[in-house]
Amino acid sequence: MNNPVNDSDTLVRTNPAYYTVIKPNVLTSAFIDKSLSKYEMRLLILLLQHRKEAKNNNYELAVPVKELADTSQIGWQKNIYLHADQVAESLMRRVVKIKPEEHMALFGTRENRNIHIVSGSHYIDGKGFIHIEYDKYFVQIFDKMLKGFTKGEFELLIKLNSFYAYCIYWLVRENQWHGSERIITLDQLKDTLGIAPEQYKNRNDNFKVKVLNVAQRELKGSWAEFDYQIKRVGKGQFNVHFYFKSDILQEIEENITLTKPWEKELKGIGVFAKSIKEIRAKIFNREKIGNTQHEYDGFYLNQCVKIGNRLYHERVRNKSKEQIKDLASYVLRAIQMGWWIDEVERERTKEKDRTQTKLFDQPKSYPVETVKELARAKGVSLDELCKQMGYTLNGDTVMIDQSTQIN
């Protein structure tokens, strides 16, 4: 499976902001070798989800067994914890094989390394959680997978029952950012799906029914919904054409109305409606920013756009090696992770001080008769008092700076 993203550096991501899901090649190749069961897939996605929500960086996560369970199946109904334990044990046997060039990108040295996704698991009776321990090396790969994941994508991936739907989801998402069609040979597709070349040989109808149609049904109505055709290109040679709506087309169809200044600011730098709608939900749900205790609001979002624009132009001006090639993706990532939260909060404090100063400095108006009484009490004319005190006559009122009190 081709992945157009070099995810080792978020500053040089070439995909637009609306390309939200990243699956590193190292994981793709590992999972192609041994197809995951739907429960292994579900556990992996749950681990990702709970890792994203965790407030610490421990190498152990507690996953609610009920989130993993499929209570529609008789086996799960009879012994839910036994089945959860079996799924964890099965995932423990999965090995990620890292090639030297991939190891260099991840860890800085050229090595061949085999890594288990899960290194251990245990269940404490009566607690309702299965505790999953994962390899310290895999954590770095794991955290790269989290970049850009949204709540909606977690929900979709957890619901998928077919490993084929899972793989085709990635195939479609990896291409939606720049087009609406993907052509792949039938042999390549089988390899991607972990299907032996001789399987379904000369039986394309079976391949459609048992593989493609299953994935199509599961992804229907999602962002990765697709149609397909199998076309003969030679003797015994076939290409599979996948058709889907590009991110840009789906974005146009979203057609949201921008009402808030921060929405217009994000739209102005290229952030698409799908992401703006997700940020709206974060504000409504009072979600925390990254691992901080701060919540999303309009001031935070506006300031992030300003900071992103400033850094972009500074790096261009200074000819920095780390150019921001995709400002929308960069700012969106910074917003989600809270990279600039300290700077934003300092600016928020300054803004409050400026606001208070402006309120104090606002001129206040008094009826002219009131000021005349003051002038008579001081034994001067109204014009003389205004000249002495810097008051401004304005018809029937006198404008007085608040730093000057009327005594």
Q: 259 CB contacts (<8 Å, ≥6 apart)?
A: none
pLDDT on residue 301: 94
How far apart are alpha carbons 347 and 344 in whole angstroms?
Answer: 5
Which H helix or E strand runs over 393? strand 392-394
Which H helix or E strand runs over 383? helix 382-389
CATH for 160-255?
Answer: 1.10.10.10
What number of other Cβ atoms are within 10 A of residue 8's Cβ?
A: 12
**Residues counted in the chain:** 407
Cα dihedral value 171, 174, 180, 185, nearest 10: -40
Alpha helices in 160-272 (DSSP H): 163-176, 186-192, 204-207, 213-219, 247-254, 261-268
What number of other Cβ atoms are within 10 A of residue 27's Cβ?
A: 20
Residue bearing tokens 């499929």: 70
pLDDT on residue 23: 43
- Cα atoms in the 13 Å half-sphere on the side-chain side of 88: 27
pLDDT tens for residues 74-102? 555 567 777 788 888 888 888 777 778 76
Domain spans in the chain, listed from the N-terminal domain onward: 16-159, 160-255, 256-360, 362-400
pTM: 0.48
- Looking at domain 16-159, which CATH architecture does it have? Orthogonal Bundle (1.10)
Residue bearing tokens 């070349």: 197
Q: Which tokens sit at 211?
A: 């593989």
pLDDT on residue 24: 41
Helix count and strand count (H, E) for the chain:
20, 11
Nearest Cα residue to 285 out of 151, 146, 135, 109: 151
Nearest Cα residue to 202 out of 175, 169, 236: 236
pLDDT on residue 31: 44
Alpha helices in 54-79 (DSSP H): 65-68, 74-78
How far apart are alpha carbons 264 and 348 in whole angstroms?
Answer: 20
CB burial class (10 A; 0-12, 13-18, 19+) of residue 317? Answer: exposed
Let me know: does 368 contact 328? Beta carbons within 8 Å. no
Nearest Cα residue to 164 out of 255, 35, 63, 302: 35
How far apart are alpha carbons 17 and 333 in whole angstroms?
Answer: 9
Per the rule left: phi > 0, alpha: psi between -120 and 50, beta: everything else, 123 is beta
pLDDT tens for residues 332-370? 889 988 999 999 999 988 887 776 555 445 557 778 887
The bridge status of strand 237-243 relative to strand 227-234 is antiparallel
Average pLDDT, 10 consecutive residues per value, the chain (407 residues): 32 32 42 60 79 69 78 60 82 78 75 82 78 78 62 70 81 76 88 77 76 89 86 88 80 70 87 83 88 91 93 86 81 90 91 61 70 79 80 78 51
pLDDT on residue 394: 78
> If you write DSSP's letter for every residue of 165-193 in order, what string do you get?
HHHHHHHHHHHHTT-SEEEEEHHHHHHHT
Phi and psi at residue 349, to the nearest 5°: -65, -45
Let me know: does 41 contact 70? Beta carbons within 8 Å. no
How far apart are alpha carbons 90 and 311 in whole angstroms?
Answer: 46
Are 16-159 and 160-255 the same fold in CATH?
A: yes
